[in-house]
Amino acid sequence: MDATLAETTGPAFRTLGGLRFSKGHGTGNDFVLVADPGGEHTITAEQVAGLCDRHRGIGGDGLIRAVPSRLLPEGRDLLATVPEAEWFMDYRNADGSLSEMCGNGVRVFVHFLRAEGLIDLPDGGALIIGTRGGAKTVVRTGDEYAVDMGPWEFIFPGEATAKAMDSLVTADGLEVPRPALSVSMGNPHTVVALAELSELAGTRLFTAPTVEPVPANGTNVEFVVPAEPLVHDGVGSVTMRVHERGVGETQSCGTGACAAAVAIRHWAGAEAPDSWRVHVPGGVVGVKFFAGPAGHEHVELSGPAVIVATGTLS
Ligand SMILES: N[C@@H](CCC[C@H](N)C(=O)O)C(=O)O
């Protein structure tokens, strides 16, 4: 956060006095959650940054507002084709910027809707929600959730298919720029393969890695180390750290885990499996590829969701 913003977050944050919030996480990717059934809380970018500030606010990698889809323009557009998507995940990064999608956020969002009594979702039941990245179907198993994240795409398809790499990434702690592959999961990702876990541990992510060429709206950068052997009992395994756009290094990134599995599977070739386990600093998430409608391959993300606290802003 820059100095100007830091000076203003105090007062900006105070105007939200009385607002009820929860704090939750999915494999350590943590969020401030606000229920807004009446669509009355338009939280500014500055206020999001204040709430997500780890020293002066509640602290979080992002803020999620639960609002009925009919009460915001993006939601109304979605309801025209998916009338079941009653609740909309209004997601912001910790710096207040918008992102199209947040995979861990979707699971925590649905868990929060349940905890607030806003939905009734029995074990094994499915719910369709609205997001800026389109409608997503979420299936609950206990306090674990599996989300159909929709189809993935290469961001630079020509390069990706011809060379399997489309960009170079430079990061503090890595001696030379590394080849990488850019994948859209609704939001942009650039995946860099490293050879060793020691190299992954030595990569410093206090400052943002540079990506050349960078996708049009910036990118999240995943550093991944494939397991050795890559596949065990039909499931592929990879270890990942991530630098998120609009946040910094986080403990986990659901869409990043999906993008990492897409890239590793692409690099591994025809024998690569459709089921993956992605190990992140905050835990493990599952990624599966399956045939979706209209001939598109879809990606399923699964993992836990936890609410750790609920309170009221003073
Ligand atoms: N942590 C999220 C991704 C959040 C958005 C990202 N920082 C972006 O700007 O695209 C996830 O779990 O997917």
The predicted structure's pLDDT at residue 3: 37
The token pair at 276 is 């993956």
Q: Where are the domains of the chain?
A: 3-151+305-312, 153-287
Report d(CA 40, CA 20) in Å as an integer. Answer: 13
Q: Do domains 3-151+305-312 and 153-287 have the same CATH topology?
A: yes
The pLDDT tens digits for 47-74 are 999 999 999 999 999 999 999 999 999 9
Question: Is 255 annotated to bind ligand?
Answer: yes
DSSP-derived pairing of the beta strands 20-26 and 29-35: antiparallel
Q: Which CATH architecture has domain 3-151+305-312?
A: Roll (3.10)
From 98, 240, 255, the mutation candidate for ligand 1 (largest count of ligand atoms within 8 A of CB) is: 255
Strands (E), the chain: 20-26, 29-35, 62-68, 87-93, 126-131, 134-141, 144-151, 153-154, 167-170, 178-184, 188-193, 210-212, 220-232, 235-244, 248-250, 275-280, 283-291, 297-304, 306-312
The predicted structure's pLDDT at residue 11: 55
The question of whether 253 is a catalytic residue gets the answer yes
pLDDT grade for 4, boundaries at 50, 70 and 90: very low
DSSP 213-230: SPPTT--EEEEEEEEEEE
State in Å: Cα 27 to ligand 1 middle. 13
Ranking 21-35, 150-164, 237-251 by mean pLDDT, the lowest is: 150-164
CA 292 from chain centre, in angstroms, equals 21
The pLDDT tens digits for 291-309 are 998 889 999 999 999 999 9
Question: Is 246 annotated to bind ligand?
Answer: no
Strand, helix or coil for residue 67: strand
pLDDT grade for 131, boundaries at 50, 70 and 90: very high
The predicted structure's pLDDT at residue 102: 98
Q: Which CATH architecture has domain 153-287?
A: Roll (3.10)
Positive or negative: CA dihedral 304, 112, 124, 288: negative
Ranking 10-19, 95-104, 128-137 by mean pLDDT, the lowest is: 10-19
The pLDDT tens digits for 230-242 are 999 999 999 999 9
Question: Looking at 79, 101, 102, 247, which residue is catalytic?
Answer: 102
Report d(CA 44, CA 49) in Å as an integer. Answer: 9
Task: Report the pLDDT averaged over residues 77-82.
Answer: 98
ipTM metric? 0.98
